[in-house]
Structure 1
Amino acid sequence: MIARRGLLIAVALTAMLASPVLAQSTPEWNDGITRQAPAWYASAEARAMADSVVAHQSPEGGWPKNTSLAVPPDVAPVDERSKNTFDNDGTTLPMAFLARVIAAGERPANRAAFDRGLDYTLAAQSPSGGWPQFYPLRPGYYSQITYNDDAMVRIMVLLREIAEGSGSYRFVDADRRARAGAAVEKGIQSMLATQVRQNGVLTVWCAQHDERTLEPAWARAFEPPSLSGNESVGITRFLMSIPDPSPEVIAAVEGAVRWFEANAVRGIRLQPITAPDGQPDLQVVADPEAPPLWARFYDLETNRPIFLGRDSVVHDALSQIERERRMGYRYYGDRPAALLRDDYPAWRRRVGLS
């Protein structure tokens, strides 16, 4: 009886281990690809994915966005409009992934692709210290200093890790590490120079700045020159992460935090609804108990939240723009909340301000 029970348990365990529900699935191509167990990067699966990533690299050295690099280009063709970009994890994510595969076991083709990607990223930095959305440069807003969706912040984080030569980046040669470090320092100066001042008082940043004048600039029709309650958080966090901040960096952080505190939108919340035509919609409703929100765009002079649809007309309320934009773009968010609650007090303690 005992032997039979043992046999039944063994059969059950074998079935469980073979079950597709319990088997480890192949990681998808997103930012989670850099957070796998270290041993996985030495696996045949990871190396095959690395070969696919290399195949997607452009002749210029960059990678596309909105494309699964986990499968070869002949399986996932790249839209020409998506090539050579830092937007939506383009270029930075494939470099971070390749670095982990290289660190798990040297592969010459992966190393060559990483080096080309790093050279490409360094070449893309503008004389004023920022990075564009696409490189080689394209006409229009694509060539501006792009903080939108944290594009430049992701570049700066990657380059700083490379410059430090820590973790997965120990293999990078000394010359490239030094160039990466110099690019980070130049990027920090660009961040400080683009921080918007109101009557001499430091505030926050626009989602994109002119690469020559450094002034806030237009991007898409609904993305005006404005103060960003979203992208400014990533920039502030990066400045907080500098180990030994200069007085200028400290002033930039303090100015941004004061602006976030002063421009929280209180007493409202976003309520998903069904419109009379049966379609989903979004409504702003009064709620004195709601946690604070911040607008995506604030007027450069008055600090009032502004809302634009595809017609580029400025409105004072989310309800005044078209439903397609209300549902398809995040005009309100709470991203500064954790910065103010957790990051800022910890930063002040670390730098000896409290």
Structure 2
Amino acid sequence: MPLRMLTTFVVLFAFSVPLHAGTPAEDLLRKPDNWFGSDAGRERLENVLSWQADAGDWPKNLDTTSKRFTGSKKKLAGTFDNGATCGELRLLARAYRVTDDQRYQQAFLRGFDHILAAQYPNGGWPQSFPLSEGYHRHITFNDNTMIRLMEFLRAAATGKDFAFLDEARRSAALQAVDRGIDCIVKCQVEVKGLPTVWCAQHHAETLIPVQARSYEHPSLSGAESAGILMFLMSLEEPSPEVIRAVEAGAAWFDAAKIEGYRYKRSESEPPLTRDPSASPLWARFYEIESNRPIFSDRDGVVKYNIEEIGSERRSGYSWYGGWGEKVLRAYDKWPHRTN
């Protein structure tokens, strides 16, 4: 995909919010400019700075804005998972634009360069970097990890909060997104010669679907594939390869929808109940060859009925969701569809 494509679409999305729910750091972007120079704002920003790991990233599943980290930096496990790092970087960029505090700029550049360094030559990103020996090293679509990184980089290329970025870094960001899009297209899973959707993780070298945790099997992912397709449909000038990928993905979502059931996460109540008026559902994971929904306990044994797994995993994981609704609504209005 040529770089000129990104220079067109990135302008349209430079000031938009991410396609996903915000982290605590991203929530602070709603604050007015004068808040960043206030005592309260500076206190929250000091907290964010304290949580940055030596590599330049931040840990996940923590509110890095609410309190100061006082331990050893060597114990901080930075990652890109669950929205970590991108939210903090967006916040620091805004803070530097408003306050001109050089520490915010320095911390931002360290994290920005870390994201670029973490990308594989094939365009994918691992869940964390430096690489681990486990599944975290594989290309990670899980929880929209790679999509968040690409959204961040395209916003950083032209957004007003990132005006301090030098031209070399802007160009590198655009090229990284180009490579990421190419990787996405190449990762799309084919079944019997037909492209479908994506797994939550793909092998870092071969790009084939791979397992993550014991209950996250190589599969077709209803959740992660929705985020990928929404991103691809946000490109203003998609290539023919991207158009084909989107059309195939939308067709899969239409075919894979489950109608007439309502889903509830509960330890004691049935997870699925019949309801003809319920909105369509999609399973989190589908078996690649059969397209049947699959489920697992932590023992990794595949089940085809959610009732056959224990209450801990049944209630502790989102096995169904309405992820495909936004995909199909967006696809209906997508100007580049050919069918």
Q: If the length of structure 1 is used for normalisation, what is the TM-score? A: 0.85
Distance 1:254 1:184 in 2: 21
Question: SS in structure 2 opposite 1:151?
Answer: helix
Deviates more, 1:98-107 or 1:252-261: 98-107
Q: For residues 236-255 of structure 1, what are the structure 2 equivalents within 5 Å?
A: 236-255=229-248
| Contact 1:67–1:78 (CA under 8 A) maintained in structure 2 | no
CA displacement at 1:111 relative to structure 2: 0.2
Change (3 A) 1:30 1:212: same
Equivalence for 1:61: 56
User: Gaps spanning 5+ residues in structure 1: where?
Assistant: 1-26, 274-278
Per-residue CA distance 1:321-346 (angstroms, 9 max, x = gap) = 010011100000001112212x1123
Equivalence for 2:84: 90
Q: For residues 82-231 of structure 1, what are the structure 2 equivalents within 5 Å?
A: 83-163=77-157, 165-231=158-224
| Contact 2:56–2:107 (CA under 8 A) maintained in structure 1 | yes
Which of residues 47, 72, 77 in structure 1 aligns to 2:68?
A: 72
Equivalence for 1:17: none
Deviates more, 1:279-288 or 1:195-204: 279-288
Q: For residues 316-327 of structure 1, what are the structure 2 equivalents within 5 Å?
A: 316-327=304-315
Question: SS in structure 1 opposite 2:298?
Answer: coil
- Matched to 1:47, the amino acid is R
Distance 1:61 1:28 in 2: 18
Per-residue CA distance 1:264-319 (angstroms, 9 max, x = gap) = 0112112466xxxxx64442122222211000000101111111111111111110
Question: SS in structure 2 opposite 1:129?
Answer: coil
Q: CA RMSD in A?
A: 2.1
Task: Provide the identity percentage.
Answer: 42
- Matched to 1:69, the amino acid is T
Distance 2:269 2:133 in 1: 35
Equivalence for 1:13: none
User: Gaps spanning 5+ residues in structure 2: where?
Assistant: 1-21
Distance 1:42 1:259 in 2: 49
Question: SS in structure 1 opposite 2:276?
Answer: coil
1:311 to 2:299 alignment: yes
Equivalence for 1:260: 253
1:338 to 2:326 alignment: yes
Distance 2:219 2:83 in 1: 24
Distance 1:42 1:100 in 2: 11
Distance 2:150 2:159 in 1: 15
Change (3 A) 1:34 1:353: farther
Distance 2:31 2:188 in 1: 36
Question: Bigger radius of gyration, 1 or 2?
Answer: 1
CA displacement at 1:125 relative to structure 2: 0.5
Deviates more, 1:137-146 or 1:262-271: 262-271
Which of residues 261, 286, 292 in structure 2 aligns to 1:298?
A: 286
| Contact 2:265–2:318 (CA under 8 A) maintained in structure 1 | no
Q: If the length of structure 2 is used for normalisation, what is the TM-score? A: 0.88
Deviates more, 1:214-223 or 1:88-97: 88-97
Question: SS in structure 2 opposite 1:230?
Answer: helix
CA displacement at 1:62 relative to structure 2: 1.3
Change (3 A) 1:271 1:173: closer
Q: How many residues align?
A: 317
Distance 2:83 2:307 in 1: 31
Distance 1:168 1:347 in 2: 29
Distance 1:41 1:280 in 2: 46
Question: SS in structure 2 opposite 1:104?
Answer: helix
Change (3 A) 1:309 1:103: same
| Contact 2:265–2:316 (CA under 8 A) maintained in structure 1 | no
